[in-house]
Amino acid sequence: METCLTCKSPLCISHIRLFRTLSEKQQALIVANVIRIPLKKGEIFIHEQEPLSSFVVINRGRFKAYNDTIDGRRNVVYFYRSGDFFGENCLFHPVDSPFTVECVEDGSLCTIPSDIMHRLIQQDHDLSFALLAGLSYRIEALEDEIKSVHVERLENRLYGLLKSLELDYGVVRNGERIIRLPLSQEEMASRLGSSREAISRTLKKMENAGKIRILAHKEILLP
């Protein structure tokens, strides 16, 4: 297993939104204790209801999280790509995983065990407040997303998702705001409780209305 000190990937655990509020010293503490786990397509990182005792960031590759129902159906809950993370509720204590996480494209995960996080917090009490601030922001974003699934039109929900993705995947190019989409249309549909066809139609409708501009290479411009 590699640590962040030996990993050559361009993505670092300290680059994700949750840790952006930390000082350089605090980020260095976390990076020095990260463990990198490589996985091949089809390998399971963790099964549903198994103890999860680490915060996990997708370093590279693609992963899916799912539940198996009693009648044998598989319900895909999330698709994860580079930069996504889960297990934030494990930062302070282990919990049972609410889903199975399977690798669908060769990749690797960056993990930090909760017992190590306890030690880091004891060394730097300000670290706990910084992490709580980051977690609070994420909870608010998730609550807004859940509410929108039930009460808003697909166009509004989709635009809200794009705005959320802009925070982590947005760039400014020639004065224009551009999102490098980390999700396929199928993955956006799963996230919003819709279908790929509906997502495609809605994106086109939004472009015709001048709300977005669809570019090449899975990029979207927000006017």
Q: Where are the domains of the chain?
A: 2-147, 153-222
Q: Any idea which architecture 153-222 has in CATH?
A: Orthogonal Bundle (1.10)
Compute the average pLDDT of residues 126-136. Answer: 71
Q: Is the pLDDT of residue 83 over 90?
A: no
- pLDDT band for 151, please (50, 70, 90 cuts): very low
* pLDDT score of 17: 65
> Any idea of the CA torsion for 43, 45, 51, 54, to the nearest 10 degrees?
170
Is the pTM of the predicted complex or chain greater than 0.85? Answer: no
* pLDDT score of 138: 62
- pLDDT band for 41, please (50, 70, 90 cuts): very high
- Is the domain spanning 2-147 CATH 2.60.120.10? The answer is yes
